[in-house]
Amino acid sequence: MICPYCGSRLSKRDRCDRCGEDVSKFKKLYMAANKYYNNGLMKAKIRDLSGAIVDLKNALKIDKKHTDARNLLGLIYLEMGETVSALSEFVISKHFQPENPVADYYMNLVQETPTKLDSLNQIVKRYNGALAYAKQGSDDLAIIQLKKVISMNPHYVQALLLLALLYIHAEDYDRARKVISKVLKVDVTNTSALEYLDYIKLTTGVDTKTASAPSSSGSAIAKTSVKENDVITPISAYSEERPNVIAWVNLVIGIIVGAAFILVALVPGIKKNAVSEQRTEIVALGEKIQKLEAEVAEKDNEYASLKQDYDEAKYKLDNPEVPEEDQQVQEEPSQYESLMQAASYFLMDKKDKASDRLIEVDTEKLELPEAVTLYNKLASELFAEQADKVYDEGHKLYSDGKYEEALEVFAKVLKMNPEQLSAIYFTGRAYHRLEKYDMAVEYYNKLINEYPDSGRAGEAKERMAELKADGKID
């Protein structure tokens, strides 16, 4: 055990031998974390995976560096088909304990081959597709997708639960029981599975016991067995004199009748509400996925539109058969070349180079409507973002005393965003430093006259006052 204050190893004393701090409470917490871990381990051995997860998470709340608890939690997630959650736990465990053969083994087991990762990716995609179909009410398509998912990962508990829920919705209770049985072979106390099973029992009136023994497959969770000596012992033939038990029999009958009434009248409604809540959650997840897909489609449409404008403008530029009314376009091809280069850089996601080419374009010399449209789209995508980045470069040059170079950069900024007030102000300041007072006054006045309420306008007034006081201007 390590001291949380100085990092030295602790002895059996309640105070650290090195720093002298009281570590008694820390030791109690450490013991509590170990207790939760041991409980989780015992539950995992009998396949009470849901209960084990609760205990292991409690252990990690107390001691986030408890790598044994984290490794076991990752192993349980892996057994239940939650591969992403499992890898997360193994990665965190590896972070806290670099020499971690357990985490290394299972991470390599998942990541060792590209085909394995591709298979896991396909499982997630198909499961998400099944959720979307369930949300749309296409239960048949959702069932087909889930069957494929389960064939790829028979222990994927969430997929099994969703499939069982769809069978219950279709009133195919026999198949639902079989799927629930598979869930309980993986996790014997899975709350959702047990609720579904109770609902089926109350709906159909058939009390079919579902096997929940551990799977015989090669699993990382230990299996339990029944001891040979665990047998039923016979009841002794000796008996006491029987008292009058009629009153007790009537009481028991009354209790049974009352319990039956509760089961028949109240429990079905409760179970139906539970199923309804589960389906609402599925629908909500489906809507979220659909929203993300819509956003991706919108971006694809924007790209397609921009690419079309680019292709049309480039075609007209490269087309040797130019109409007579477009002869003037051929006289100054550099504008279109800069525009095409900007579009090419943008499509390659080289936004800095794209903006450099785009500011070279004089829109008054663009006579092709397609070229103007392409310029406007590129400008709206590039200039707002790039103007601030280029301004930062100019301000650094100004701070280093490189005023001529700073002026060139500020000119680019103002070409992209004429209302960049800081660029206007420091353009004036650069001219001021270079003793080009007329140019400095021009930019100071621009701030004062066009943006009188801005903070930069106030600074410009102060600089103007300095120039007048020094006799540099009238």
All structural domains of the chain: 24-112 (1.25.40.10), 114-212+260-304 (1.25.40.10), 305-321+329-469 (1.25.40.10)
pLDDT (0 to 100) of residue 31: 87
pLDDT (0 to 100) of residue 407: 93
Q: Per-residue pLDDT averaged across 307-325, rounded?
A: 61
pLDDT (0 to 100) of residue 223: 37
- Report percent pLDDT > 90 for the chain: 15
pLDDT (0 to 100) of residue 426: 92
pLDDT (0 to 100) of residue 329: 42
Please give the structure tokens belonging to residue 461: 């007034």
Bridge partner residues of 9 (DSSP): 2
Cβ-based neighbours of 113, under 8 Å, separated by 6 or more: none
Residues 293 and 295: their CA atoms lie apart, in Å, by 5
Q: Per-residue pLDDT averaged across 217-234, rounded?
A: 37
Residue 240 CB-half CA count within 13 A: 3
Helix (H, G, I), strand (E, B) or coil at 33: helix
pLDDT (0 to 100) of residue 254: 66
pLDDT (0 to 100) of residue 427: 93
pLDDT at 306 over 50: yes
**Count of beta carbons in the 10 Å neighbourhood of residue 51:** 20
Q: To which residue do tokens 């079309």 refer?
A: 308
Report the helix count and the strand count for the chain, using DSSP H and E: 20, 0
pLDDT (0 to 100) of residue 397: 92
Cβ-based neighbours of 45, under 8 Å, separated by 6 or more: 221, 222, 224
Q: To which residue do tokens 């001291």 refer?
A: 3
Contact assessment for residue 32 and residue 173, using Cβ atoms and an 8 Å cutoff: no
**Which pLDDT band, with edges at 50, 70 and 90, does 284 fall under?**
confident
pLDDT (0 to 100) of residue 226: 34
pLDDT (0 to 100) of residue 261: 58
Of 12-26, 101-115, 290-304, 436-450, the range with the highest mean pLDDT is: 436-450
**Count of beta carbons in the 10 Å neighbourhood of residue 228:** 6
Q: To which residue do tokens 């009238």 refer?
A: 474
pLDDT (0 to 100) of residue 318: 63
Which of 122-136, 200-214, 341-355, 428-442 has the lowest average pLDDT?
A: 200-214
Q: Per-residue pLDDT averaged across 321-343, rounded?
A: 60
What angle (nearest 5°) sits at the alpha carbon of residue 272, between those of residues 268 and 276? 175
pLDDT, averaged across the chain: 77
Helix (H, G, I), strand (E, B) or coil at 188: coil
Cβ-based neighbours of 471, under 8 Å, separated by 6 or more: none
- Report percent pLDDT > 70 for the chain: 73
